[in-house]
C-alpha cells in the first residue's frame, strides 16, 4: 500500500526548499546592492557609489520628464491665467494715455503698456484661440519668447514683421499670423483641427468655426475662412507656394494669383467671394501628421466688408464641401494620391471677381 504520508511530507519539503531558494535569491540581490555585514571597505564604497548613481539617474530622469511633459503645461496655465487677469483689468488713464495716436480699442491698453510690440487680439469662437498678437523686428524674435519677454518654448502668436498696422486702421492686404502647434494645445494647436488626415471631421470642424476675429488697436474686424491648406516649404518635395512673401498685391494679377492658389490648394470650399481690394488674414502653423518635414497648415480668411453680414447663414454652412482634388506638392501626391497628377480646378471662378474661366476648370462650378 502506498505511503501517502511520505508523499505529502516530500511535497511539502519541496515547496519549502523552493521558497527558501527564492528567499535566498532575493537576499543575494539585496546583499549585492547595499552594504552588508562582512563586506570589505572597497565593496562598501562600490555599493554606495552604485546606489548614489542610481538615485542620481532617477532624479535626472524625473527632471527630464518634468521639463518636457509637465513644465510646458504649467507654463501654459500660468500664461493663460496671467493673460486672463490682464484682460479683466480695467485700463487706467495712464495706460490709455500711452496708446499710439488714434488708437480706439482702449481695452487693450494694459497689454500695450506691458509690451509695445502688441498689435492686436486674435480669437476664434468656441476653441482655444484667444490671445494677444505681437510683432517683432523679425520672424524669429517671438518663436521662443512669451508676451512678457520671457523665454518660453511656447513662444507667442506674432504677425509677420513686414505687415503694416497703420493708425488709420489700414493693414497690409494679407496679414500673416504665426503660432506654434504644441502638445500643450495652446496658441495654434487647435488650428490644426481645420486640416486633419480625416478630412470629413475637419470639414465638420470648419462648419462649427468658420469665422475668425482679429482686432487691432485701431479697428475691430471679422474674417470669413475660404481656404484651408496643407503647404510644403521644401523644394525637395516639389512645388512650393511661398505665401509668406505675399503681403500686398501690386496689381490685380497678383491678387488673382494669390486667391486662385489658395482655392486650388484648399481642402474645402466655403463659397466666400473675393474682389480686388479685399483684405485677408492668414494663420500659419506647423503640421506633423502627414510624415514630412516642415509642412504647414495655413488657414486664409477674407475680411468682412462694410455692410456685409459677419457670419455665414445655415444654408451657406451646409453648402461647405471638400475639394475633389487638392493641388499638392509632388511628394504628397505620391504618398496620398497614388502619384496622380493634379487634375485641375473644381471651384467657381465667380468667387474671384473678374476671374476668367479656362480649361483648368474641370466641372461646372457650384455657388
First-to-last alpha carbon distance for the chain, in angstroms, is 99
Measure the CA–CA gap between 241 and 265, rounded to whole angstroms: 9
Residue 2 lies in a domain: no
Measure the CA–CA gap between 165 and 175, rounded to whole angstroms: 9
Q: Given this model, what pLDDT does residue 69 score?
A: 63
CATH number reported for the structural domain that contains residue 331 in this entry: 2.40.260.10
Angle at 225 between CA 221 and CA 227, to 5 degrees: 140
Q: Given this model, what pLDDT does residue 22 score?
A: 55
Query: Which residue, among 341, 333, 336, 338, has the nearest Cα to 360 in the 3D structure?
Result: 341
Residue 73 lies in a domain: no
Taking 50 as the pLDDT cut, the residues of the chain under it are 7-9, 366
Q: Given this model, what pLDDT does residue 229 score?
A: 98
Q: Given this model, what pLDDT does residue 174 score?
A: 98
Residue 38 lies in a domain: no
Find where cell 502647434 sits: 181
Q: Given this model, what pLDDT does residue 364 score?
A: 53
Q: Given this model, what pLDDT does residue 36 score?
A: 78
Cβ atoms of 111 and 86 within 8 Å: the answer is: yes
Range of the domain at 328: 104-351
Cβ atoms of 225 and 212 within 8 Å: the answer is: yes
Residue 6 lies in a domain: no
Q: Given this model, what pLDDT does residue 121 score?
A: 96
Backbone Cα Rg of the chain: 31
Residue 68 lies in a domain: no
Residue 83 lies in a domain: no
Q: Which residues are catalytic?
A: 180, 286
Cβ atoms of 95 and 110 within 8 Å: the answer is: yes
Residue 326 lies in a domain: yes
Find where cell 509632388 sits: 330
> 3-class DSSP state for residue 46?
helix
Residue 275 lies in a domain: yes
Q: Given this model, what pLDDT does residue 294 score?
A: 94
- The number of domains in the chain is 1
Per-residue pLDDT reduced to its tens digit, 264-290: 999 999 999 999 999 999 999 999 999
Amino acid at each position: 500500500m502506498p505511503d501517502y504520508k511520505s508523499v505529502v511530507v516530500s511535497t511539502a519539503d519541496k515547496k519549502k526548499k523552493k521558497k527558501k531558494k527564492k528567499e535566498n535569491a532575493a537576499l543575494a540581490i539585496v546583499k549585492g546592492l547595499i552594504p552588508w555585514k562582512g563586506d570589505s571597505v572597497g565593496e562598501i564604497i562600490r555599493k554606495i557609489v552604485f546606489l548614489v548613481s542610481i538615485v542620481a539617474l532617477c532624479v535626472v530622469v524625473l527632471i527630464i520628464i518634468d521639463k518636457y511633459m509637465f513644465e510646458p503645461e504649467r507654463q501654459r496655465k500660468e500664461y493663460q491665467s496671467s493673460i486672463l487677469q490682464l484682460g479683466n483689468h480695467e485700463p487706467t488713464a495712464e495706460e490709455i494715455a500711452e496708446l499710439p495716436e488714434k488708437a480706439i480699442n482702449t481695452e487693450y491698453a494694459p497689454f500695450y503698456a506691458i509690451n509695445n510690440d502688441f498689435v492686436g487680439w486674435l480669437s476664434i469662437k468656441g476653441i482655444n484661440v484667444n490671445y494677444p498678437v505681437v510683432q517683432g523686428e523679425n520672424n524669429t524674435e517671438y518663436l521662443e519668447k512669451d508676451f512678457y519677454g520671457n523665454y518660453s518654448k511656447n513662444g507667442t502668436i506674432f504677425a509677420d514683421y513686414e505687415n503694416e498696422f497703420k493708425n488709420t486702421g489700414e493693414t497690409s492686404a494679407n496679414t500673416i499670423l504665426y503660432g506654434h502647434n504644441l502638445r500643450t494645445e495652446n496658441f495654434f494647436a487647435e488650428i490644426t483641427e481645420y486640416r486633419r488626415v480625416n478630412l470629413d471631421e475637419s470639414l465638420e470642424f470648419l462648419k462649427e468655426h468658420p469665422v475668425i476675429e482679429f482686432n487691432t488697436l485701431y479697428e475691430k474686424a471679422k474674417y470669413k475662412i475660404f481656404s484651408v491648406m496643407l503647404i510644403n516649404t521644401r523644394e525637395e518635395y516639389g512645388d512650393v507656394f511661398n505665401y509668406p512673401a505675399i503681403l500686398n498685391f501690386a496689381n490685380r494679377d497678383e491678387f488673382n494669383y494669390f486667391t486662385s492658389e489658395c482655392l486650388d490648394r484648399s481642402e474645402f470650399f466655403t463659397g466666400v467671394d473675393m474682389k480686388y481690394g479685399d483684405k485677408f488674414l492668414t494663420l500659419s502653423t506647423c503640421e506633423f501628421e502627414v510624415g514630412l518635414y516642415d509642412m504647414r497648415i495655413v488657414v486664409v480668411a477674407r475680411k468682412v466688408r462694410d455692410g456685409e453680414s459677419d457670419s455665414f447663414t445655415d444654408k451657406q454652412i451646409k453648402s461647405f464641401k471638400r475639394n475633389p482634388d487638392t493641388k499638392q506638392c509632388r511628394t504628397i501626391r505620391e504618398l496620398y494620391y497614388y502619384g496622380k497628377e493634379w487634375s485641375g480646378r473644381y471651384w467657381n471662378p465667380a468667387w474671384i471677381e473678374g476671374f476668367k474661366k479656362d480649361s483648368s476648370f474641370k466641372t461646372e462650378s457650384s455657388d
